[in-house]
Every structure is written in C-alpha cells, then in structure tokens.
Structure 1
Amino acid sequence: MKTRRIVATAFVAATAVAAVACGSRQASADPADGIVACPVGTRAEQPVVLVHGWQPLSAFGVEGANRSMGELESALRADGRCVYTPDYDSNAGPEKITQQFTDAVHKILQVNRANSVDLVGHSYGALIMRAVSIRFPDGANPVDNVVAVSGPQTAPGRLSGLDPAAKSFIESLNSGPSPVAASVRYTMIATHDDQISVPPDIAFLDAPNVHNVWLQDGCSRDHSGHITELKDPRLIGLVTNVLDPESHATIPCET
C-alpha cells in the first residue's frame, strides 16, 4: 500500500443504478453524491471503487445493479473491503464522467482519511477507471490497483455508436508516452467469448506495469461472455486475487 497517495463503449444490458456499500441511496448523475465514510470494521484505509459498464442512469434501479455487479461486490465485502459502487450517467460523455469519478475518488479518500484506493471497472467502467488513474500526478497518485474487465482500451468496440466521443477519448488516452500511470498496477482481463467488446483483445494494453490476462488462461473450458463473466467464479477469483493475493492464492476454474 502506498504511503503518500491521498475502465468499448460496450453496452452492458444488466448494469444499472448502484448503491454505495455503506448504504443505498437514490440514483444520481454525479458519482460523488452520497459518499459517506466506510462502515466500521471494513478496510477504510484502502477502499475499492467498483464501477459498472454502459447503461443510461436509473434504467433498472438498485436491483438491476445487484444483478450485474452484485456478486463481485459481495465477494469484496466478504473480504472486509469497503466498497463504493457509485452510479453515473454514461450518456454524459467520457471526459465529464472521468472528472466526476476523479472528484469522487478525492472525496472517498477525504471522508475516510485514506491514502490509497483500488479501482475496478467493467466494460465502459473499465475504460473510465483507467482514465481516472492517470488524472493524478506522479508521486502523489492514490491509486494502487486498476482492475479493468473487458474494457475498450484501444478501440471503441462494436457498439461505439452509443458514445460518439469514445473513439477520440481513447485515442487521446493512448497518445502520450504511456497509456497508464507509472506508479499504478494494472490488470486487464478479457474473455475470448466476448461478443460486445470486440475483438476481445482491445481490453489489453502494452506497458511494463500492465498484466494482461485472458479469463481462459489456465481454464480453457470457461466460456463466460461479456455479461455472464460478472457472475463467473473465475472472474471474481481473478479480481480478488489481484486485490488480496494472500487470501485468494487459488483461482477457481468452474463451468
């Protein structure tokens, strides 16, 4: 854990309004709204921000969010992690959303007096989390890990028409000396059976501190797709292994 440190436009039909793990709240277009301190007994020193993919605000309500990211959130909370699942309006445009989540991270750190945070995103949320991680200055970056699942990191993906700004946004992120922040550890996860973020390897990046992982590495019989992977024990195992390798040394291979 760092000591001085204060995620394609792929449509995910099952993603929706999320609730902050410290208590549910009404849907908001601003991810920073309603953020309060982590519950007593959770690891407030390093919260996790868990972000769903593309979905217009409030399409399914809180239950919709539980159907999409709920199992991963439950696994993280079972580890004692403090998990924030802010909602956002994916129609707002990637620049605005990135700034909103950057502000939300600042607020999460402030209310918890924390120095670091882990970011986990799926699909469009994976792109946004990567973008947030490079908004902080070198030497003062609070982000320890970014786990980006099936995100459009090098191309907009098949359904780019949902967000006309995505292509130029991705090109801008990738136009510098490095597409990632030097002090952050990145794990980019993709599935060969993705039919939304295509080709699936657009979820990967080339940088020294990036670990690109296929869901099928070591488990060829896993055929989870873009949406079903969120409930896949292997995907959940990969994420928890990155964030807490000592407690999750073994990654399951189930069908």
Structure 2
Amino acid sequence: MGGTGRPTLLYMHLHILKGRIHLDSRSTCRDAWLISHISGGHMRAWQRMSATLVVVAAASSPALAAATPDDATPPDTLAACPAGTVGVPVLLIHGTNADVERSLGPTRQALADDGRCVYGPDFDSTRPLSESVDYFAAVVEHIRAVNGVDVIDVVGKSQGGLIARAVSLKFAGQQSNPIRNLVTVSGPHQGVTEFAGSTNLNPVALLVPGLPAAAHDMLAGSEFLTELDADGMTAPGVRYTLIGTRTDRIVTPYTSSFIDAPNTTDILIQDGCPEDLAGHLAESADPRTIDLTLNALDPVRHHTVRCVANDDQR
C-alpha cells in the first residue's frame, strides 16, 4: 500500500477438491487469518473435502507493521442517534479481514429499516484481541453517553462475536451491564481446534513473520481465552444469543460458536431448516441468520424466522 509503510498482503485461497490444489489470487489487504500446515501424511484429510485456507504472503516487507489505535474509528467521532430512531442503539462488530458491510451489511440494513440506530465502527482485526476489547468497551461507553441511554444491543460476526462477548465480561463487575442483548454469528467462543475436520493439523506450524496476534488469540487454549473465561464465559444481566452453522469451515469445530450457560440461547441454523447449508461467510447474507438475529433483538416485532434453502457453503 503506497505511502503507508505497511506490507501488502496477498490473499490466496487454496481450493482442495478431489486431491487437486488450485490457487487463485482474490485480493490485496492488510489482514490475515490462520496459517495451516499440510504435510504429506495429512493430505488425505484434505482430499476428502473441498476446503479453503487463507495463505498470507508479505509482498513488500518481512513483517506486518504494528497496529495502532489510529487504525480504528475514534469513538468520539460517533455522533448521537438521529431523532426518530426506535429502541436502544445497536453496535455491530465485524469479523476478520472484513468490515461491517461485508460481515453484517444485510443485518445493518434490516435494523435501519426497523428504525434502529446502528453503529458500525471500523477497526484493525489483526491487533491483539485485548486491544480490540478495550477499544470497543470505550465505544460502548461513548454510545451510551452521547445518547443518554443505560444499555445498548451488540451484534458480532466471527471474531467480532468473540470481541463482543469479551466486552460484556469486561463490564461484568459493574452494578449493571451496559449490554442488554448480545448476538454472535459464528463467534469462536471456545477457540478454533480443528481444520478441515482433522485435529492433526497444526495451525501455527508455519510461523511466518507477522502472523497476526488476533489469530493466535482465537486458538483454543490461547492465553487470551484462558484469562477471559477464568471466571465464567458469560456476564450476569446480559441475554446472549449464539448462532452457528454446521457447515462452518472457518470456526471449527462449529460447536465452538456455542456456550452452555443459563443466560445463553444456542441456535444452529440447520435446526428446523436442514436445507439451509450456509457456511461461515455466506451467513452474512443468509435470510435465516438475519431473521434469527432480528428475532433475538426484538422477538415481538420479528417473531417469524424464514427457512430458505441455501447451498452456499463458503
């Protein structure tokens, strides 16, 4: 990226189908996802399915430049909700290598159509999750202050879902939590432990320079997750709705998206709609996933959840 001093990262997707590997260049960007190692002994596990891995190549520098708070939308630039909006404000937190439009664009539009006030600040999804949690905690406090409200609703997709839950735990010691409803879509709450259905693949076997801290934080057993969940995975007073899909090939196993706790509702989109096979990326525009999110935030207004066949397993 000219003039920034940051390396340009080339994202390539490995499509492994019927034992053949195909590379295609999709985009240049500054985020990264997990690096998986495939040795000859592990190739059979990949040949049994069509999978996508993200391979990161630094094109101009041997390491990623350190993320700074300047990469995120300053909280104090977020204006008060316009007059006429209904309900409490909604904060959307996007996933890795994305923005709110790509992660939760249709959900944002549906909320706006309802008259809700929606915030979707950008942030650097490569930074350590602890930094992102601190940032979004400040965002929550600013939204409350500028609007004069006690609580807000939060929706997070993928990494954004884990960040949202961590923010709710950060406020757990307060007399009342500023988060009322928290909805996550395929958030890696339990951490990622499997790749392409195999537990034998080491996700950090190829430690390239600059592998983002966020990727390490989302691995099962990471220091971040261990410390986060030391006193429990949920905060009192928050209603959690955790949505996941059986066809998820990024947050694996897909059950990592769920939590067993009294104040959580775990929803597999295939329950009651087996023909909806939307994968991790496809969930962003999946009608059922969107309806489930709206239902969790306002079950009176959105009591109907559609079942629409979806074969997009990306």
Q: With structure 2 as the length reference, what TM-score do the two structures score?
A: 0.67
Q: Which has the higher contact order (CA 8 A, sep 6+)?
A: 1
Q: 1:10 to 1:69 in 2, by over 3 A?
A: farther
The yes-or-no answer on 1:217 pairing with 2:271 is yes
Unaligned regions of 5+ residues in structure 2, if any? 1-31, 35-52, 55-69, 196-202, 205-210, 310-314
Unaligned regions of 5+ residues in structure 1, if any? 1-8, 14-26
> Which residue, out of 108, 112, 135, partners 2:147?
112
> Which residue, out of 105, 112, 117, partners 1:82?
117
Equivalences for 1:166-181 in 2 at 5 Å? 166=218, 167-176=222-231, 178-181=232-235
1:206 to partner: Cα distance: 1.5
Partner Cα separation in structure 2 for residue 148 and residue 70 of structure 1 = 15
Instruction: Name the SS of the counterpart of 1:202 in structure 2.
Output: helix
Matched residue, 2:160: 125
Partner Cα separation in structure 2 for residue 199 and residue 140 of structure 1 = 33
Instruction: Name the SS of the counterpart of 1:92 in structure 2.
Output: coil
1:30 to partner: Cα distance: 4.2
> Which residue, out of 165, 173, 184, partners 1:148?
184
Matched residue, 2:89: 47
Partner Cα separation in structure 1 for residue 217 and residue 294 of structure 2 = 32
Regions of 4+ moved over 6 Å: 9-13
Partner Cα separation in structure 2 for residue 109 and residue 142 of structure 1 = 8
1:169 to partner: Cα distance: 1.0
> Which residue, out of 239, 250, 254, partners 2:304?
250
Residue 42 of structure 1 aligns with an amino acid whose one-letter code is T
Residue 225 of structure 1 aligns with an amino acid whose one-letter code is G
Aligned sequence identity (%): 40
Partner Cα separation in structure 1 for residue 262 and residue 247 of structure 2 = 26
1:109 to partner: Cα distance: 0.5
Residue 112 of structure 1 aligns with an amino acid whose one-letter code is N
Q: With structure 1 as the length reference, what TM-score do the two structures score?
A: 0.82
The yes-or-no answer on 1:139 pairing with 2:142 is no
Equivalences for 1:10-89 in 2 at 5 Å? 28-30=71-73, 32-43=75-86, 46-55=88-97, 65-89=100-124
Matched residue, 1:197: 251
The yes-or-no answer on 1:237 pairing with 2:279 is no
Partner Cα separation in structure 2 for residue 103 and residue 48 of structure 1 = 15
Residue 213 of structure 1 aligns with an amino acid whose one-letter code is I
Q: Judge conservation of contact 1:190–1:203 (CA < 8 Å) in 2.
A: yes
Q: 1:188 to 1:113 in 2, by over 3 A?
A: same
RMSD after superposition: 2.2
Instruction: Name the SS of the counterpart of 2:275 in structure 1.
Output: coil
Per-residue CA deviation, residues 102-128 of structure 1 (Å, 9 max, x unaligned), is 000000000000111011000000000
Q: 1:97 to 1:52 in 2, by over 3 A?
A: same
Looking at CA atoms only, which structure, 1 or 2, has the larger radius of gyration? 2
Partner Cα separation in structure 2 for residue 79 and residue 139 of structure 1 = 31
Partner Cα separation in structure 1 for residue 127 and residue 290 of structure 2 = 29
Q: Judge conservation of contact 1:31–1:88 (CA < 8 Å) in 2.
A: no
Q: Judge conservation of contact 2:90–2:154 (CA < 8 Å) in 1.
A: yes
Q: 1:86 to 1:42 in 2, by over 3 A?
A: same
Instruction: Name the SS of the counterpart of 2:216 in structure 1.
Output: coil
